[in-house]
Amino acid sequence: AFQFGNFKWWKESMDLFFEKYYLGCSMILTALFERGIRDCPIESWKQKVTKFYESAVVDRIEEIYNKETIEPISRYIDTVLLLPSIDGFINTFFNSGLIFQNGIEPQHLERNWLMHGMTDRDVTEEDCIKLFNANVTLCYLKTTIFQIAYTS
C-alpha cells in the first residue's frame, strides 16, 4: 500500500475535489507532487523549475533496465510506459515556456501560473485528476523502481 507522508493534505485535496473546489485541490496536489519529487533519484526532476535534461532520464532508464532485480514485464511497464509519461507531465507542468510578462497563459494548467496566482483559467476536474494521477504514479515509481519508502 502507498502511504503519503502528509496524509492530512492528501485527504484535504480529496475533500476539496469531491466538493468541486478544484483550485484549492490543485494547489495542495501540486505541493504534494513537488515534495515527492524532491527525494526522487532523477536529479533533473529535483531541479525542475525552469530547465529539463532529457539525458538524465534516459540514463536512469538504461540503468534500471539493466538491473536483474526487476522482473522483465515490470521493467517494461515501469520504464517504457510510466517513466516517460511522468517525465512528460513534469516537463509540461513545470515549464510551459510562457512567462508572466507576456501575459499569454498556457492552454493547460501550469505550476508557475497556478502557484504564483497568475492563472486566469478555471481549474477543472480534469486538471485535478491529472495531478492525482501524477502523484500516484510518482508514488508507484518511487516504491517499485527506485525502492524508496514513499512518504510524500
Reported as a single tens digit per residue, the pLDDT across 31-81 is: 999 888 877 766 656 554 334 434 555 555 566 556 655 555 555 566 667
Q: Which of 2-16, 26-40, 113-127 has the lowest mean pLDDT?
A: 2-16
> Residue 105: inside a domain, yes or no?
yes
* Structural domains in the chain (count): 1
User: Whole-model pTM?
Assistant: 0.74
Helix axes 22-38, 125-144, angle to 10 degrees: 20
Domain that holds residue 35: 7-144
pLDDT tens-digit readout, 90-121: 988 988 777 777 888 888 999 989 999 999 99
Instruction: State the burial class of residue 54 (Cβ atoms within 10 Å of its Cβ: 0-12, 13-18, 19+).
Output: exposed
> Residue 149: inside a domain, yes or no?
no
Instruction: Give residues with Cβ within 8 angstroms of 139, minimum separation 6.
Output: 2, 4, 36, 150
DSSP reduced 3-state for 47: coil
Under DSSP, the state recorded for 101 is: G
